[in-house]
Structure 1
Amino acid sequence: MSATQSDPQQRPADSRSRLTDTIRSNRLAQVGVVVVLLLAVTAVFGPLVSPYDPVEQNLAHQLEPPSPSHPLGTDQLGRDVLTRLLYGARLSLGIAVAVTGVRLVVGTAVGLVAGYAGGWVDEALMRLVDTLLAFPGIVLALVIAGVLGPSLVNVMLALAVVGWASYARLVRSNVLALRNREFVTSARLLGRSRTHVVVRHLIPNVVAPVVVLATLDIGGVILGTAGLSFIGLGAQPPTPEWGTMLASGRTYLQQAWWLVNAPGVCIMITVLGFNLLGDSLRDMLSPTQSAQMEQL
């Protein structure tokens, strides 16, 4: 029985060491870390330092170009674009973290139960997962959000419902590979309960790939939220959400280019940052786990 198998507490320390080495040796990983940290700081503190209200209209300053008083200009209702972007960063990041958290918890629970229980339980849960994965996620989310009605809460619910299946499949595949290992068998022979085996031996060994998938998933949730809001199913005006800002600014694309470019660039940089961070986390996994991630 090797140390990495029998001592789950050693694995987080080894993972932190590999992650540190990966970030130090990979400039793209460093870019991802910097972007994510800047986004987090902006989302938390940005709205606190802005002198403007994100929804207050000032028709005397409609469509003003970027200037010292309005670094990213104003929109068609005279609202400061930079202020709305800062509030939008908090909203977009909060939604992405919440939706990804729900996906992670539900998918991990289903994957653990399916992989460890086996038999008809595994078969039933995996057929449900296969059914969800058979539909394009954004199309299924579009249908759910359309049925429930335009609302940011409904969009969050729709994205959470369609996204947990990938976590379930990833966790199940790891549990199937772990449940017959020596350290799990030893725990069973010692009379440990199923709960003890799952909490003590299985969960610590599936945390790393799940965290990687969640990191990559955040960018997708941000894109999905912005896309559904862009077509009118998500956040409703005057909510300062990036997708809604894109939708309202497209009418003035030739007259006020900053209305579309500003939120578009923010979405692009944010998604790129999380993808780079997720790729760097994936690089520290074993080749087998990396291959599993690429299939999802």
Structure 2
Amino acid sequence: MNGPTPVWLSAVYLVLVFACAVGLAAGFRGLLALAAPAGLARTLRSAPLTASFGLLVILLYFLAALFAPVIAPFGEREVVGGQFLPWDSVHLLGTDNLGRDMFTRLLYGARNTVGVAFITTGIAFFAGALLGLLAAVVGGWLDQFLSRTVDVLMAIPALIFALLLLTILGTSVVNMILVIALIDSTRVFRLARAVAMNIVVMDYIEAARLRGEGLYHLILREILPNAAAPLVAEFGLRFCFVFLSISALSFLGLGMQPPTADWGSMVRENATLITFGDVTPLLPAGAIALLTVAVNFVVDWMLHRASGLKE
């Protein structure tokens, strides 16, 4: 029977993984620079390795989600063997508690979890940013009404609020998307309003008002282009929070419902294996953590570039 892995061997493994990650990030940055136009190529060459690694991970997740039916050896809900079968040439990552292929479930989980998180973030961002910009430009009673409403919603802990609403409305995917979008739109509203409030006092905004420009022009042509950098960065960060919220709700049984493959519910369903020293339940958890870190790497780079700071 094999004993525990020595500490020095674990350290060697970590160094090798880190070296592989650095090499892949550097190679991917070079390929992007070669394929991109001249202006974009210069920007990509100056990108840190962390941002390159983040872009590579995001691309791999996107490809896995897009081509899941082609890559996966079995169907998403297909029972292909016994419960908790070990890793082998047929089942690359073994089987879960019902005998479904874990590798297949991970691929479809990328499509379901990441896809739903992206849609939810888009809805939350559109609603929050639009209302935040509108409140800053119009001001007056509209600004006070929206701001106080957002303050009330933000005073309630997000996870508890989501659990309460989903318990009342039901645990469908549509309800989950709407509930999380509502909760996270309040955070987007606060940022969009704060950024826009610093812009609406500028001279060029006053000049646009004197020219007789309407609300539509002021928001889309004058304010939004100058607020784009922090809003784009907020979209990346908000995606991480939405992604983690969906996984947490699925882990608690109020997110995506079986038999849909979802990383949060996969951790719960296979948690029993942890007591036997099997790392299989950690694979969906690792997939969640890796994507979160990758998105943050890219967002940090974008914020650094938008700030105008030099290395």
Question: TM bucket by the smaller chain?
Answer: 0.7 to 0.9
Query: Following the alignment from structure 1 to structure 2, what is the Cα–Cα distance between the partners of residues 161 and 172?
Result: 17
Mapped to 1, the partners of 2:159 and 2:42 lie a distance apart of: 34
Which residue of the partner structure matches residue 50 of structure 1?
Answer: 72
2: CA distance between counterparts of 1:165 and 1:30? Answer: 31
Counterpart in 1 of 2:61?
A: 39
Secondary structure class of the residue paired with 1:169: helix
Q: Does the Cα contact within 8 Å between 1:65 and 1:256 map onto a contact in 2?
A: no
Q: Could you tell me the percent identity over the aligned residues? A: 34
RMSD of Structure 2 on Structure 1 (CA): 2.2
- Which residue is equivalent to 1:8? none
146-155 or 250-259, larger mean C-alpha shift: 250-259
Alpha-carbon distance change, 265 to 20 in structure 1, aligned in 2, over 3 angstroms? farther
Cα distance, 1:141 vs structure 2 = 1.3
Matched with 2:35 is none
**Aligned residue in 2 for 1:76:** 97
Distance 1:128 1:287, change over 3 A: farther
Instruction: Kindly report which structure 2 residues correspond to 1:241-260, keeping only aligned pairs within 5 A, or say none.
Output: 241-255=262-276, 257-260=278-281
Give the Cα–Cα distance (whole angstroms) in 2 for the partners of residues 72 and 150 of structure 1: 29
Is contact 1:72–1:258 with CA below 8 Å preserved after alignment? no
**How do residues 209-248 of structure 1 correspond to structure 2 at under 5 angstroms?**
209-248=230-269
Tell me, yes or no, if the aligned pair for 1:44 and 1:90 is still in contact at 8 Å: yes
- What is the CA–CA distance in structure 1 between the aligned matches of 2:191 and 2:200, rounded to whole Å? 14
Residue identity opposite 2:282 in structure 1? N
Residues 188-237 of structure 1 show CA distances to partners (whole Å, capped at 9, x for unaligned) of: 22222222222211121222211111111112111111111111111122
**CA separation of 1:182/1:278 partners in 2, compared to 1, >3 Å: closer, same or farther?**
same
Task: Kindly provide the CA deviation profile for residues 152-182 of structure 1, in whole angstroms up to 9, marking residues without a partner as x.
Answer: 3222222111000111111111221111212
CA distance in 2, matches of 1:99, 1:163: 9
Match of 2:153 among 129, 132, 135: 132
1:107 alignment partner in structure 2: 128
What's 1:170 paired with? 191
3-state SS in 2 of match to 1:52: coil
Structure 1 runs not aligned, ≥5 long: 1-16, 289-296
In the alignment, the residues of structure 2 paired with residue 26 and residue 146 of structure 1 have an alpha-carbon distance, to the nearest angstrom, of 44
Decide which of 161, 177, 180 is 1:159's aligned counterpart: 180
In the alignment, residue 77 of structure 1 is paired with which amino acid?
L
Q: How many residues align?
A: 272
Task: Give the deviation of 1:285 after TM superposition.
Answer: 2.4
8 Å CA contact retained: 1:23, 1:280: no
Per-residue deviation, 1:94: 0.7
**Cα shift at 1:255:** 4.1
Contact 2:84–2:94 (CA under 8 A) maintained in structure 1: yes
SS at match of 1:70: coil
Counterpart selection for 1:66 from 78, 81, 87: 87
C-alpha separation between the residues in 2 aligned to 1:95 and 1:222? 8
SS at match of 1:54: coil
Question: Which of these residues, 199, 202, 205, is aligned with residue 226 of structure 2?
Answer: 205
Q: Do 1:23 and 1:30's aligned partners in 2 also have CA atoms closer than 8 Å? A: no
User: Any idea what SS the aligned residue of 2:94 has?
Assistant: coil
Report deviation, 1:39. Answer: 0.8
Which residue identity is paired with 1:81? Answer: M
* Alpha-carbon distance in structure 2 between the residues aligned to 1:19 and 1:145: 46
Using the alignment, how far apart are the partners of 2:304 and 2:248 within structure 1? 29
Highest relative contact order (Cα 8 Å, sep 6+), 1 or 2? 1
What residue is the counterpart of 2:162 in the other structure? 141
Q: Offset of 1:286 from its aligned partner?
A: 2.8
Which runs of no fewer than 5 residues in structure 2 stay unpaired?
Answer: 1-38
Moved over 4 A (4+): 17-20
Aligned twin of 2:304: 283
